[in-house]
Amino acid sequence: MPAIDVGTLGKTAVLMGGSSAEREISLMSGSGVLAALRSQGVDAHAFDPAQTELGELKREGFVRVFIALHGRHGEDGTVQGALELMGLPYTGSGVMASAIAMDKTMTKRVWLAEGLPTPRFVWLDSDNQARERLRTVPDELGLPLIVKPPREGSSIGISKVAGYSEMADAVALAAKYDADVLCEEFIAGEEITCPVIGSGRAAQALPVVRIVAPEGKYDYQNKYFTDDTSYLCPSGLAPDEEREIQRIVVAAYKALGCRGWGRADLMIRAADRKPFLLEMNTSPGMTGHSLVPMSARAAGISYEQLCVYLLSTATLDSAPAQPTGA
């Protein structure tokens, strides 16, 4: 990590909480980031957009923003757009990349256009969820399959469907969180995740984390509120396999136009060891159970160093490009 003069970072708002279904996790992430920044001497303050309107950021003299929001109105480009209008540099991806990455269907379309591996899928908009249509999805994707809301995170609203009779309930659950529903080919194998930090040619993947959940069920509860899930970092994968996954993840990150940081979730198919990209998180969790800090530690980067580094990368879409070598 480069040495950073925290005195140059100025008064910083850590955006946390918000109004999405992931509010509880965001408060946990934001509290961790806030404590880490303050421990390093950053003039950092908590700011909850669900309780205080964003316009107060300017009125209260903030000059930089660390986005620790998750989900809608946090990592979907809306907050990023508001900060652009206020001219307040923020961490993470810009408006377009945030909006695309938040929508798993659009993300998959971009990745497929770039020749990157992602599971086959069927997209069901709100006018295309009749029972007759749902019965055809297993014929297209095979069983089991995954049903999820395309614009939520933290495994919210996801179901694994093992039979035709389960489709209606799975789609109804996903539709509680999103009018559209994403049905996805199930990849049997190992679940992994890999963070990326930096932008452009400087973007680099951190170590891969391998996830071993109870009964293979890496759901909301097992992600955040139990200690039964194992996270292996170093991953234990063959070095060549880990390097290939890191290469794919950086390519996926760049294809979406991401910057600052992100974390890709993938599956490695057991049958042939082929990796498949599932999604890109542009405002990953920073809780005690979170995987970016774990991966960073394996690379010799402390939680505090990571938070200060990410804050130092805060920028705007409208910021002038830095000359090469600057």
Residues forming the active site: 22, 154, 224, 263, 265, 279, 281, 285
Spatial distance between the Cα atoms of 101 and 240, rounded to a whole number of angstroms: 27
CA separation, residue 270 to residues 26, 191, 244, 250, 273 (Å): 33, 10, 16, 23, 5
Q: Are strands 12-15 and 64-67 parallel, antiparallel or unpaired?
A: parallel
| Structure-token pair, residue 266 | 């993938």
- φ, ψ for residue 229, nearest 5 deg: -85, 135
Residue pair 196/257 in contact (Cβ under 8 Å)? The answer is: no
Residue identified by tokens 């095979």 is: 142
Q: What is the CA radius of gyration of the chain?
A: 19
Residue identified by tokens 């049958």 is: 271
**DSSP state letters, 271-302:** TT--EEEEEEESS---STT-HHHHHHHHTT--
Half-sphere exposure of 221 (CA within 13 A, CB side): 4
| Structure-token pair, residue 274 | 């082929």
CA separation, residue 89 to residues 83, 287, 313 (Å): 7, 23, 9
Spatial distance between the Cα atoms of 322 and 326, rounded to a whole number of angstroms: 6
